[in-house]
Chain A
Amino acid sequence: MKDSSIINLFWKRDETAIRETERKYGHYLLKIAYNVLANHEDSEESVNDTYLKTWDSLPPHRPEILSAYLGKIARETAIDKLRKRSARKRGGSEYMLSLSELEDCVSGGESPEQEAEFRELVRLINRYLRKLPKENRDVFICRYYFMDETREIAAYTGCSETKIRSMLYRMRQGLRNNLEKEGIRV
């Protein structure tokens, strides 16, 4: 099914939208979640949460690129889950656990300045990435957006893992220089 049709189903509040999304993007989302969580059960749970969040957000949103939209939700959801899990495992105390639970009902404590700074950071990252050659940019996104392993990226590109690592290193350096030039402390 075409993305536009799936989005229409969401807008019509037709529950088959989720089934179609799962059929088309299930593996894609599971991989994103697994790359973060490294656990199958948690990943599946995270993907289910992704569907629910998508259901809640479409409408009002009507994404132009559905795969990217879903991927972002899946990624955020998985990272949230990972942080909660880490807090539970490491601290073990009820205090830490309560703290992570409370994150659900507060804004995260970001001040407007911090929010603005974060938006600026996002803008600079996007600007930096746009300047990169396409292949390099794709590699960067695979690693730091999709969190693919370098050997996976090597397989995607057909390049050696060493080359991928070296590309990533240079891009990280470049990003850092760019951010520092713009006055962002890295």
Chain B
Amino acid sequence: MKPEKLMDAFGKIDDDMIESAQEMRSGNSGIRKKNQKAAAMRKKWRNGLLTMTAAGLILGFCFLVADLNQREIVSNTNPAEVSEESSESRTESMEEGGTEALSTEGSLDAKEADRSEEVTEATTASVEETGEESAERTEFVSALETAVTDRYVFAVKDKALYAESRETGTVIAENLISSALVMKDGLVYYAAVSGDGYRIHELNTENLQSKERYFVPGAESGAESSEPFCLEGVQGNYLICRIGSSSNSHPSLGYNRLYSIDLEDGAIAALSESVGSYFVGSDEWLVGAGDSLSVSVAPLSAMKLDGSDSRELTNCTAGAVIEDGTLYYMDYPEYMDGNTKSGYLICYDLERQREQTRIPISGYWYLRNGCFMSSGPDQTMRLLLPDGTVCSYPENFRFVRLKNRYFATTDRMIYQLDVQNETYAELMQLDINASANPYTFELCEGKVYMYYTDSELVSQTLVWEESEFGLDEVGQVEIEQTQEEKQIRNRKLAQLRGTYDLSSVEWDGLKFSVENGCLYRGDSEYISGNMEFEHFILDSDSVFYCVLRENANQIIRYDIKSGENEVLYSQPAEAYVQYGITNYERMDLADVTDSYLYFRCGRQELDANTLYSVNRETGTVHLLGENVQRNLLIGDGYVAALENRDDTCPAAIYLYSSDGSSRNMLAEYCAGAYIGDSSLEYLECKNGNPNEVYHVRYDAGNGVEVSRTLLSEGCWSEWNRCFYEADYHRMLAEDGSEVDLPDGLYPVRIGRKLYLYSGDVLYEITCDNGEITYGSMYEMDGPENLEPWQLLFREQGELALITGPGGEAKVLSWDQPTFFPEEGTPAVMNQSGQGKMEEKRSLERLPGEYAITSLQNGSDYYYMDGKQLEGPGVTISDCIYEDSHLLSDGVYLYYTANWNQENLVRCYNLEQGTVRTLYGVDENYRLELVTVCGDSLYIRCGTSDLSKNRLYAVSVKDGTAFLLAEDVQNVVSAVEGYAAVLKQTGEVRPTQLLVCGRKVKGVDLADSSEIWPISESCSGARMTADETGETVRLEYLEHDSRDGMVDLVIYDVKEKTEMARTELPNGEWLEWNGCFYDAKAHCAVFPDGSVVNLPEGCYPVRIEDTMYLYLGTSLYEVVYENGKIVYGEIYSTGAVPEADACQYLVRGIGNQILVTAPGGETVMVDLEVNRCIPWFQLELDSPVSRRPKCFIRETPQLKGQNRLTTPQNKGSI
């Protein structure tokens, strides 16, 4: 389809959608204002914000994660429904006073109902008071990772507190215990450790003055440890902190005890010894959950901030929230016996210390980020509001909520809940590059803080202010990583292996996915429910999965062709009670072969499990191993797996026979394993030492070790069936060498081939003695928005799958590879083979050889017509030669004319329409325009065929001419009074390169040039000056007649010294549109010295220090980063598209580019206007994804000799 047709179809877009877009264009859209403000503020903050590089922030990050984990009291029970009837009747009853509804609940006994009646009266009174008091009400505010005021951002790095303003950064304090900051009324509280104890300081955020507010004396050992002291938050006038010590070195303070510090008088009060880190609070009361935060239910206590009272509200709650000063919490009085799955939503008046209402709730509700959540009967999530209202809760709202108000979703949207209508309004799209980690919200002093980790694992904080429209962004804090942190990150990444389960896959029109425990085919075809784990195994014609059904775990095979389910194996699920809840052991299908099914069985997350195999023919079950990691290595007649060793890492590797007859430990400490071509390969840490790692090849069939090699120090692990070292980003090659990997590329083995992947591209590689050689390149339609290290590859059946963190998989290949765009082939040769090569070589040409015969400048069009130059409203009829041509510098059109027995060089002012004569000679001499550079027009003058010629530089300002040289073939370029000239030395190339130093105006022409030879064997050159003109740099290609190699030489023209010399790979090198280009390998030297293979069909252009690729009618700005070409701006040249891209000449003049086609038709492209005709973009789609295939032969990270070297480093110069 032609893009024009698509463009025509866009013209038929429905009116209402056009109107909507027009609203945005006219500024009537709310999103515009909001985004603009957010962007402006973000820019403002980024300009002055900190770049945090400290390892200290790891602590902060850990704190954040730990905090998040602690706050999320996760359900580990079977979710059950809440009684909708009860909640509906409750809602109704609340309107009527609350009494009736309570009496209708059969589960309430009469006593409770009486109590409720009392409470109702009290509620009415309380509500009346609340209206007056709400303005002064104080609530608990958690400590923050980052504190933001109008002037500063406060954050901690390297255990030091920094205040960063737009202008400068200031160290406020050092030796901070953690990155927790408490902010209140323009003051920031932080805790620091000193030699004799802990101190809490108060920082005035206006004048940055700190003063000590509290001191905890401690023993030396205690003081040096930053672990036991923690600022938790602030409530009213009380700072809440927790002090604990594993060595119990503060007997007076006790262990893990919560304290409040009165900020007015500094009085400290002990609050509780058993409260963990989940708090809510209102006025004088602080409510905290018990310290058993890792379980779903815990005791709940209310403490008076001055320490005068403390009471346990329930011994079994799933969490509490405070709304308008009223405490709501879940109470599960019967949970402990393990039989009942129902509880109460309690409304509690803290001031009067008694319950107001008690609503029976069936099902298990847990608290996450201030919301009570539960799973409904149809597995959909629901939200319980404090008044008992149940709201639906969309599936993608899985991450973050802020006090029933703001909901961040997996697709990076933030919604606001309209409680009255129970609907969610779209609030904003987050412009962030978050990784798979959840975001977390905090609210403090009217500002909403959102913490998240971006895809580079950099900690980020976004700050908004609440306004009547929702949230307005006021700042962003970015915390950069140190090398050490990157190493830690890579180590973490290395541990991701196996954690990506296949939760959805789509290929060849088929799609399977697991949602809410149900397996679907396509978007809606239900296959099965009751899946205990949200993943499955896919084979070429089957989907295998596990379900828990009728108290039995079953392994089921779904036949893709027939659509039928077949139970392969079933075993009773053993019941057990945990945390008062009855559960059943779960089964996780580990792998399937033709002969055996392998599954693990255990409780909950299967951290303790047993691995079994089932003979598919006989149904016999065999126990193979215990505490086995998920990924099995299925070999020919054997199975290998890693068995966890308590909490230590690395694990042990065992070899099992599938029938359970043998179980042999291969290595006690194994950092990773995979099955290679013929043997089992694993990494053994000698005596558990992670720095002494051996690579072992083991012949499992014969039970013998084939080889054992000691690897260099580092963090080695298995990664996509390769052995990868995370600290220095390298891999172990087949030949045993350790290969440094380019940044951004990660290894993967698919079948027998090795690849490096960068996210959207897969490069086939081979490694030889530490060097990588790149082969074919494949484009992958992988999961979007993911970094390469987030992707896992695996083979499953006949498929190769690429899986993102969410478990969504894309199929890379099928029997016949359909998802590889095409069979990868090296890019250079095409159907014309050698002919093409010859064609490229014949492209060696001289600037000016493509003389301009017509010029399109915007809408103005000039062209040569016989002896006339035609333009808009102008005809110039004094041209002398039939083959006369034009040159242009964007201001003038230059042409040659004959007048009064003289041959003249004339220029036509494109803007003013005036003609001027620049230079003239007797008509017996022929004139030829060579090129125009800066203010100089270069012409050759000589005999009729110009075999003997003189080169002149003619000033375009006043026509002054300077003789530069004789017998000149071409002018390379000219800057700052210097011209680089290629001189004819015979009939064969290469030619001699000279530099002409032009002296001041007015000197006799014959003596005006200072000429010195540069090279006797040059095939191309370019000359540039820096911005100040102080340095003039000549780059040229010099052929070495002895070995035929070509050197790229950089020469300082003013200093007359060689600056650098680099040997280029063997090829046909020439200068091409300002670049050095190898016509044989179709590669070019980029400005950073990299030799880069170019996509087929694209030809290089270099204008000053910017590289472009020319293709069809578009010019793509490109840079070479991380081993690949990155595309930037696209400029539409509007040139005639019929010609091959290699036939165009492209020259830069200031902000304009002249693009000349073979016929001499030239288009001036204004880069500033950057008019890109949309359908040209459409035609090319994206150059990144649809660019022609190429392979990278060398990457700058790996090929040192391609870097420019200085003469000092090269003794021969």
Contact = CB atoms under 8 A, between A and B. Distances in A.
Interface of A: 28, 38-39, 42, 63-65, 67-69, 71-72, 75-76, 79, 83, 85, 89-90, 92, 118, 121-122, 125-126, 129-130, 133-135, 137-139, 141-149, 156-160, 163, 169-170, 172-173, 176, 184-186
Nearest to B25: A156
Nearest to A175: B6
Interface stretch (B14-22, B69-77, B551-559, B707-715): B14-22
B13 A125 contact: yes
B796 interface: no
A134 to B, nearest CB: 7
B13 A145 contact: yes
Given A122-B13, A142-B24, A157-B35, 20 more contacts: A65-B16, A75-B11, A79-B8, A89-B861, A121-B9, A122-B12, A126-B12, A126-B13, A126-B14, A130-B17, A135-B31, A137-B21, A141-B18, A141-B21, A145-B18, A149-B1170, A149-B1171, A157-B32, A184-B1, A186-B6
Nearest to B39: A158
B5 A121 contact: yes
Q: Is the interface of A mostly helix, strand, loop or mixed?
A: helix
Contacts of A173: 1181-1182, 1185
Contacts of B22: 28, 67-68, 71, 146
A92 B18 CA distance: 36
A64 B14 CA distance: 11
A135 B431 contact: no
Contact of A176 (B39, B863, B1181): B1181
Contacts of A141: 10, 13, 17-18, 20-21
A79 B39 contact: no
A142 B8 CA distance: 15
A158 B1136 contact: no
Contact of A89 (B16, B27, B856, B1170): B856
Nearest to B854: A92
B891 interface: no
A44 to B, nearest CB: 13
B220 to A, nearest CB: 52
6 contacts: A38-B859, A79-B11, A137-B17, A138-B23, A158-B34, A173-B1182
Highest count of chain B CB atoms <10 Å: which of A63, A125, A141: A141
B21 A122 contact: no
Nearest to A136: B429
Nearest to B413: A133
Nearest to B43: A160
B1172 interface: yes
B1172 A125 contact: no
Contacts of A148: 25
A157 B18 CA distance: 15
A146 B20 CA distance: 12
Contacts of A159: 35, 39, 431
Contacts of A156: 24-25, 27, 29, 32
B9 A125 contact: yes
B1044 interface: no
A118 B5 CA distance: 8
Nearest to B1138: A90
Contacts of B12: 72, 122, 125-126
Contacts of B1178: 144, 172
Contact of A68 (B18, B29, B32, B39): B18
A158 B856 CA distance: 35
Contacts, number: 144
B1174 A160 contact: no
A64 to B, nearest CB: 7
A39 B859 contact: yes
A147 B27 CA distance: 17
B211 interface: no
B475 to A, nearest CB: 16
Given A65-B19, A134-B20, A158-B36, A144 B25 contact: no
Q: Is the interface of B mostly helix, strand, loop or mixed?
A: helix
Given A28-B22, A147-B1174, A63 B35 contact: no
A12 to B, nearest CB: 23
Given A141-B13, A170-B784, A149 B1172 contact: yes
Contacts of A71: 18, 22
B33 interface: yes
Contact of B1136 (A90, A118, A122): A90
B38 interface: yes
A152 to B, nearest CB: 8
B9 A169 contact: no
Contact of B1182 (A126, A129, A163, A172): A172
A86 B35 CA distance: 39
Interface string B1022-1033: 000000000000
B9 A122 contact: yes
Contacts of B1170: 149
B106 interface: no
B858 interface: yes
A158 B10 contact: no
Nearest to A177: B781
B37 A68 contact: no
A39 B24 contact: no
B7 interface: yes
A185 B1 contact: yes
A17 to B, nearest CB: 19
Contacts of A28: 22
Interface in B1157-1195: 1169-1172, 1174, 1178, 1181-1182, 1184-1185
A76 B20 contact: no
B945 to A, nearest CB: 31
What are the nearest 10 A-B pairs in CB distance?
Answer: A158-B35, A158-B36, A68-B15, A141-B21, A138-B21, A122-B12, A68-B18, A65-B15, A138-B24, A39-B859
A157 B10 CA distance: 21
B11 A137 contact: no
A99 B282 CA distance: 81
B17 A129 contact: yes
Contacts of A75: 11
B110 to A, nearest CB: 54
A164 B979 CA distance: 44
A55 to B, nearest CB: 20
B11 A157 contact: no
A142 B10 contact: no
A148 B10 CA distance: 14
Nearest to A27: B26
Highest count of chain A CB atoms <10 Å: which of B37, B784, B859: B859
Contacts of B1172: 149
A159 B1171 CA distance: 20
A100 B762 CA distance: 46
Contacts of B431: 159-160, 163
A144 B1174 contact: yes
Highest count of chain B CB atoms <10 Å: which of A42, A118, A139, A158: A158
Contacts of A184: 1
B21 A146 contact: yes
A160 B36 CA distance: 9
A125 B1181 CA distance: 17
B1115 to A, nearest CB: 16
Given A118-B8, A126-B14, A159-B431, A138 B20 contact: yes
Contact of B33 (A85, A158, A170): A158
A38 B1171 contact: yes
A144 B10 contact: yes
Contacts of B35: 157-159
A26 B1 CA distance: 34
A26 to B, nearest CB: 14
A142 B29 CA distance: 13
A100 to B, nearest CB: 14
Given A89-B856, A135-B31, A158-B35, A125 B15 contact: no
A173 B14 CA distance: 21
Contacts of A76: 11
Nearest to A176: B1181
